[in-house]
Copies of this chain bind each other. A is one copy, B any other.
């Protein structure tokens, strides 16, 4: 067996449509190759399974991210890496994640594509649905996305290509 490599957690956050899922899917195999194994925790997948009973009010958003951070801890405790892609709109959620995953190699990446860019892309039709059926708590429209107050890598996915974004993330998160 090769020597065990330190697992890492890359936590992608940002508005719906910022590119979280796209980048997470691209990063997962790279992280797996570099650290031995990696588990993808995608917000949409969690919403349809582990967190299926939760809504989008503040309390449920907090519980959603709490569960995701606890799963990340279970995975990291087993020496596997994590790529999480969740909106993670509140600073108190990011604080909770830092506390839950204290002692692990965790990097936050904020995908800062503007609301205009995200609304134009609208890969899942969420913004259109909001315009037609809103208002309700959609991050960026009915619900806030708080700018990070703690150090994070910020990537403007409205201007950078997927390849450029991945290179920047790997350089920041996986310098080893």
Chain A residues engaging chain B, CB cutoff 8 angstroms:
1, 28, 32-33, 36-41, 45-46, 49-50, 67, 70-71, 73-75, 77-80, 100
Are the CB atoms of B28 and A78 closer together than 8 Å?
Answer: yes
Copies in the complex: 2
Among B36, B74, B77, the residue within 8 A (CB) of A71 is B74
Are the CB atoms of B70 and A40 closer together than 8 Å?
Answer: no
Are the CB atoms of A40 and B77 closer together than 8 Å?
Answer: yes
Q: Which residues of B contact A33 (CB under 8 A)?
A: 1
Bound together, the chains give a CA A100 to CA B50 distance in angstroms of: 11
A67 in contact with B39 given A1-B33, A33-B1, A78-B28 (CB within 8 Å): no
Measured CB to CB, the closest approach of chain B to A112, in angstroms, equals: 27
Bound together, the chains give a CA A110 to CA B159 distance in angstroms of: 55
Q: Which residues of B contact A37 (CB under 8 A)?
A: 36-37, 78-80
Contacts A40-B78, A75-B75 known; 6 new A-B pairs at CB < 8 A: A1-B33, A36-B37, A38-B78, A39-B80, A50-B67, A71-B71
